[in-house]
Every structure is written in structure tokens, then in C-alpha cells.
Chain A
């Protein structure tokens, strides 16, 4: 039997180095220029952690272990190569679910064979501290798993993005959470399998219940939150195994996800609790539809848009989730290139919650070869709309709605928005006039004198503008 408790100092040092490399990996992401070096640090840290573990534990069957790593490596690399950039949110959700399930498996394995982990006395009684860590580890892991599966199904379109509201859901959720915590407390006095597996089952259930009432556009918060949970699960396992690499990583990932959730909530001016409570946008759209009045709006064509933009000095492009759905990023970049050739100054303005996960738009634009120094965050570019000739909004809606600044009764009041209405001309690419944004509120920008609505599929519209800019047939 191996003993983990008296740790060889060199082994502990190796894990500490791995932990430091993980810190450097995140540090590298402070700028795109240093980011790839950061990623290499991450790989090196992981290599150190895995090799150290393999060298310091006698492998009962090395072929099985190396085979398992090999199978995982092939699946992982194939997925990473094949995935479309627009499907990134689903992939991240799928990866989170694997971290969660792996944490559950490790916690269960530790429960079944505590001696191998050095967390039990001679009689097989698991140490009290280890029971808390194990209970929390399996609970957080299970919540991460089932929550991420639901997030994956919603993001992947296998399940409607609409919130599913169970009656009495707050009572059920709080009751289940209380039961889990109570059972972890009881687990300290009774380590019988019934207690352990009930904690596991209830945790799987609560992960599922927590995510089903959350709507599609709140997904950036959910994905960030699950990211955070996967970190806390790793940290809990690190406590169980007394492993510094796992604890440092868990703390890093946990805070990373928590900060991203905070940034996303702030960008929507909603509290974290109200997002978690869910149901946003469920009945607002019904109310808005009933009260909708017919207001005049000005339609435009791709030719009009091409003409207006080629005459402009400054154009700011505002992409949103609709651009991702239509896969319009390449056509959009082509359009911007042609405009630049005509001497137009083109910039991109990104709202923090545009898309389905933090930074979603930036990745798509990078994929389409848009240089990152042409892409600006909300606070850096918002002052420039007043001086710009054309704001070209493609697949975004709520993030441009001035009601967030003026209308106290609006559900999106207080949310920071891009000031597109200050531009001399607004070109608004939208599928149809019927649909309102996710929040179910009408956007005054549609009806302004300087706004031209370009109705149609985002990609087709961008393609048509490219054709018109090339002088195609006119």
C-alpha cells in the first residue's frame, strides 16, 4: 500500500513547480503576443504533474494507464482539430462536464479505496477532514457534470434555449441544496455507502435543476459559473490528496470562472442571484408582443449599404450572436477589407455579452483574420460612435438598445450598451422586423431617421454588400 501522507520533498516541489507554471499560463493571456508562450507553460506544468505522479506511484498495470491516457489524447485532439469556432461554447461546456465527471470518479474511487490515497486509518475509517473534502468534491463535481450537460444541450440546440420553469422550483432547489449540505454533515459521523451515494445522486439532480430555468442569452454567465465550479471541484480533490498543484490550479480556475461570471453579470446589469434564479425573458416577450405598435421604419438594400459605407470616413461594426449563427464573420471581414481599400477607417466594437460565452466574438473575428488591434471593447470605443459616419450592426440587438439608458421600466435598464444611435447613420442587419431581441424589448434604434434596416440573413447580406462594393453588375 502506498502512503501519501509523508510526502517526499522533491515530489512536493515538483507539484509546486507545476502549480507555478499554471499561474504563468494564465499570466501569458494578458496579451495575445505572450499568450502562446503561456499555453506552453500550461502544457509543461501538466507534463510535470503527470510524470511526477507516474514516477512516484507503482503502476499495477502500466499498459492500462498509458492506454487510458492514449485514448483520451486521441479523442481530445480530434475534437480540438475538428470543432468549428462557432461551436466553441458547446465544446467548453462539454469539457467542463468531463472535469466534473472525472472529479466524481476520483472522489468515488477515493471513497472505495481510501487506503490507496492515505486518507484512512488502520481500521478503514476515513479521516474527518478528508470526509468533508471528499463530500464537497463529489458534490461540486456532480453539479458541474449535470449542469454542464444541460448547458451543452442548450448551446448545441438539442434542447430549447427557453427557460424551463418548474412550479416551486426555488423551494425544490433550496431544499435539495440543504439536503446535500446536511448529508455531508452526517457523512462525518457515518461513512456508510448509502450516505455517500445519496449525496452523489442529489448533487447530480441539483446541477440539472439549477441550469434548466436559465435562458439562452444568460449562457455566458452559466458557462463562466460552471468553469468556476470545475475549479473548486479540482481544489477539493487537491485537499483530499494534499497536492499543491491541484490546489493552486483549483484556486486559479475557481477565481477565473468567478471573475468572468462577475464581468458577464455586470455587462448585463443583473445580479448573479437573479441569473441563477433564472426565467429571464420568459414572459417579457409575450407582454411586449401585445403592446407592440406599428412604427415606421426605413428599409434598405445591400447596394444602399455599400454606397453609404464606401462614402464614409469611419465605420464601426457591431457584431452579435446573430453573426455567429449565420457564420457571417468571413464575409464581414471581406466587406471590411474592401472598405479599407477605399480608404474607410473600419473598427469593431464588442459588447462583453455578445455571443454565448465570454470573448466569443473576438475568437470568431480572429478566425476570420480580423487583426486584434482593430477590435475594441465597449468602454474603449463607446465615445467614438458620435464621430463615426456609419455604425453597422450585424446580429446584435439588445446590446445597442438606448432604452437601457433612458427607460426605467425596461427589463434591460442599466445595462451598459453601445451608443450606436449617436452615429450619423445606423445600418441594422436583422433577420426580420417581427422578432425582438432576447430580452423581449423593442429597440428604438430601428425607428430612427438615420437608421436603415437591412433585413435578411447576416451572411447573405454581408455577401451581397461585398458584391455591391466590387461593383457586381451595377
Chain B
């Protein structure tokens, strides 16, 4: 893909983000932060590529370290979000 194609996706995604985030209820702003945190760890994709590649040992170890860090975030971020969201209950009537 050329730069312009990727850049177009990026710009459009910024607009999607803008509208989606404004529709998030303020009561869920803390879970919003923890879940965005978890999904931004999608950089694990880059970490996996680095750790899988042959050629540079230092690059591989940096990749593995990044895999550990991103995994902490992914599992921790989704788990803590799930834990928080389970607490939001409606009034019992």
C-alpha cells in the first residue's frame, strides 16, 4: 500500500474516533481509558514481527521484550475493563 492510501485510512479513522468517543457516556470514561489502553497494544503485531525475524539478535530480544510488555497490557487491560464493567448495575426495582 502506498503512503497516501494508508494516510487516508488514518484520517478517516480519526473522524470515526472523534464521533465514537463523543458518544461514550461520561460514566464510562475510566473503562474507556483502560480499553483504549488494551487496544493500543495492537503494536504487539510489530513486536511479533521483530521477535520472529532472523538476522539481528538485539532486534529479536527487543521484539520479545515488547511482546511481554504488550501482552501485559492486552490481558491486563481487557481483564480490568471487564472487571469494572461488571460492576455497573441498574437500580433493582
Contact = CB atoms under 8 A, between A and B. Distances in A.
Interface of A: 1-2, 4, 7, 12, 15, 18-19, 22-23, 25-27, 29-33, 35-36, 38-39, 42-43, 45-46, 49-50, 53-54, 57-60, 64-65, 68-73, 75-77, 79-81, 83, 85, 88, 91-92, 95-96, 98-99, 101-103, 105-106, 108-110, 112-113, 115-117, 129, 223-224, 227, 230-231, 233-235, 237-257, 259-260, 263, 350, 352, 357-360, 362-363, 366-367, 369, 371-375, 377
Contacts of B65: 68, 105
Contact of B37 (A70, A96, A106): A96
A462 B20 CA distance: 38
B41 A112 contact: no
Residue among B29, B47, B60 with the highest chain A CB neighbour number at 10 A: B29
Contacts of A71: 68, 71
Given A68-B64, A72-B70, A373 B58 contact: no
Given A22-B39, A99-B73, A252-B17, A106 B27 contact: no
A69 B45 CA distance: 12
Nearest to A244: B9
A346 B63 CA distance: 53
Contacts of B27: 32, 350, 359, 362, 372, 375, 377
A232 B40 CA distance: 9
Nearest to B75: A76
Q: Which 3 A-B pairs have the closest CB atoms?
A: A72-B71, A76-B76, A359-B29
Contact of B87 (A29, A42, A367): A367
A196 B13 CA distance: 29
Contacts of B59: 108-110, 112-113, 116
A22 B22 CA distance: 16
A239 B6 contact: yes
Given A102-B43, A110-B46, A260-B32, A43 B72 contact: no
B13 A358 contact: no
A371 B53 CA distance: 51
7 contacts: A26-B17, A109-B60, A113-B50, A234-B40, A234-B43, A250-B40, A260-B21
Contacts of B75: 72-73, 76-77, 80
A65 B88 contact: no
Contacts of B76: 75-77, 79-80, 91, 95
A35 B29 CA distance: 11
B12 to A, nearest CB: 8
Interface size class of B (residues with CB under 8 A): 35 or more
A57 B52 contact: yes
State the majority secondary structure of interface residues on B.
Answer: helix
B8 to A, nearest CB: 10
A157 to B, nearest CB: 19
Contacts of A248: 9, 13, 16
B45 to A, nearest CB: 5
Interface of B: 1, 3, 6-7, 9-11, 13-14, 16-18, 20-56, 58-60, 62-92
B41 A99 contact: yes
Contacts of B54: 60, 116
A234 B41 CA distance: 8
B90 to A, nearest CB: 6
Contacts of A59: 52
B67 A252 contact: no
Contact of B42 (A49, A91, A95, A254): A49
Contacts of A113: 50, 53, 55-56, 59-60
B69 A105 contact: yes
Contacts of A27: 20, 23
A137 B86 CA distance: 35
B16 A253 contact: no
Contacts of A26: 17, 20-21, 24, 32, 35-36
Contacts of B6: 238-239, 242, 244, 247
B45 A245 contact: yes
Contacts of A366: 84, 87-89
B48 A32 contact: no
Residue among B9, B24, B46, B87 with the highest chain A CB neighbour number at 10 A: B46
Contact of A60 (B9, B37, B53, B90): B53
A291 to B, nearest CB: 36
Nearest to A116: B53
Given A99-B41, A102-B70, A81 B79 contact: yes
Contact of A36 (B24, B52, B63, B86): B86
